Amino acid sequence: MTEPAIPGALSAVDRLVVSLVAGINMRALYGSEHPALASHVDRILEGVSAACQERQQDSLTFLVVGQDLVVETQPLRTGSLYHQQFIRALTRRGVERLTVALGLDAEECVRFLTPMALGGVPLSTRYITVGRVELQPSVIEEGPGPGTGAGGGAGPGGDSAIESLTAQGVDGARDAFTEFRTDRRGGLVRLEQVVWSLMDALQRATREILPLAPLKTHDDYTFVHSVNVSLLTLAQARSFGIEGARLHAIGLAAFLHDIGKLKIPLEVLNKPGKLEGDEWRIMMGHAQEGATHLCGVEGSHPLAILVAYEHHMRHDGQPNYPVPRIGRRPTLASQMTSISDVYDAICTTRPYAKARSRQFAVSVLTERVGTFHSPALIANFVRMVGVTPADPPDEPTR
Ligand SMILES: [Fe+2]
Ligand SMILES: [Fe+2]
């Protein structure tokens, strides 16, 4: 097969589409190691760089909308054979959304091209996010409407989200979370995969039934809480247009926000009622502990360290915990994580407290606007979860 001539008038994004189609076609003909494929893969990698540069972004998202191909919010001219082939190739595999990001390498590229060419399910990886259409009737779409499911942690939407995660091969995610303490690098790689899967699950969920994972046992609490905080934070970040590798970094950081709690003795972590003196001091130490732990993990993203450290800090820079040497506002990712953290902690039954309604959680958040939380972020979050505040808050959150 010969490479098509590329007219000079094509944009870098168009050229990337041509390279991707050619790469899929070549992979259908040649093995993954064949030099003929390698040169096409190189063109795709160059294409990703050029297209990102053209758009001044670090990732590009293609959407299939009916018969049209949309890049970010802009429809491409779809008259060309290559556009049509690209749409057909994506549709054939149920891909409705594809994000490619700077940093993509040859191996990851071939891993994407293989199922696209030969059949199977293309999965999200570090620099390629694949949003798939539900091929069976979606249970997620049939979840409860806004404001239902008081307690928020075990609704049908939540169950289906976890089931779809399982279906995508995230079995063992709980183990990966726990193993992360001992097998630091290996555990992190598996957790990175979990976050890609959460991004996939989120792309299929509607706003109203933003999935919250069900709590199976008390031992699960920190894991389930981490899944929920990651999902809610990913949803917030996406609502601001953050995509691809940057979105993944935020989702992973949110996932790991409470990693320091794994070192807290269970009798303190799960103690019913209020914590006293030393217990509270140990609890407050989890932010610093988590950041220190992540500093020792090879390959951990600086954002994860920052979010672990900052997720209990206040938006207005006033002291909460930990208290940095120089008072400052937490970063955006930490602020989003903090909102998700409070919301999920209240909505999910914890070992030490019963779940409250989503409306109650929103009322706690709105009480803290301007002090703990940014007004703009809370307004966005409330819009996103689609509930209105209920009774005034009457309890602190850990
Ligand atoms: Fe925390
Ligand atoms: Fe938390």
Say how many Å lie between the CA of residue 170 and the centre of ligand 1: 24
Helix (H) or strand (E) holding 101: strand 95-101
Cβ–Cβ under 8 Å, residues 235 and 210: yes
Say how many Å lie between the CA of residue 164 and the centre of ligand 2: 24
Say how many Å lie between the CA of residue 64 and the centre of ligand 1: 39
Partnered with residue 362 across adjacent β-strands are: none
> What are the residues whose beta carbons fall under 8 Å from the beta carbon of 111, sequence distance 6 or more?
125
pLDDT at residue number 284: 94
Q: Which residue has the tokens 């850990």?
A: 398
pLDDT category at 63 given cuts 50, 70, 90 is confident
> Which residue type, as a one-letter code, is found at position 305?
I
pLDDT value at 219 more than 60? no
Most confident of 2-6, 121-125, 159-163: 121-125
Which CATH number fits the domain 160-385, given the four candidates 1.10.3210.10, 2.60.120.380, 3.40.630.10, 2.102.10.10? Answer: 1.10.3210.10
**CA count, 13 A, side-chain hemisphere, 356:** 22
Say how many Å lie between the CA of residue 36 and the centre of ligand 2: 49
pLDDT value at 151 more than 50? no
| Domain-wise residue ranges, the chain | 12-141, 160-385
In angstroms, the CA 256 to CA 263 distance is: 13
pLDDT at residue number 105: 94
Say how many Å lie between the CA of residue 146 and the centre of ligand 1: 27
Say how many Å lie between the CA of residue 260 and the centre of ligand 2: 10
Burial class of residue 208 in the structure, from the number of CB atoms within 10 Å of its CB (0-12 exposed, 13-18 middle, 19+ buried): middle
Stretch 111-135: mean pLDDT: 81
Cβ–Cβ under 8 Å, residues 338 and 311: yes
What is the residue-averaged pLDDT of the chain? 79
pLDDT at residue number 218: 44
pLDDT value at 86 more than 70? yes
Higher pLDDT, 109 or 87: 109
Q: Which residue has the tokens 């690098």?
A: 185
Protein residues placing their CB within 5 Å of the ion ligand 1: 258
| pTM (2 d.p.) | 0.60
In angstroms, the CA 373 to CA 390 distance is: 18
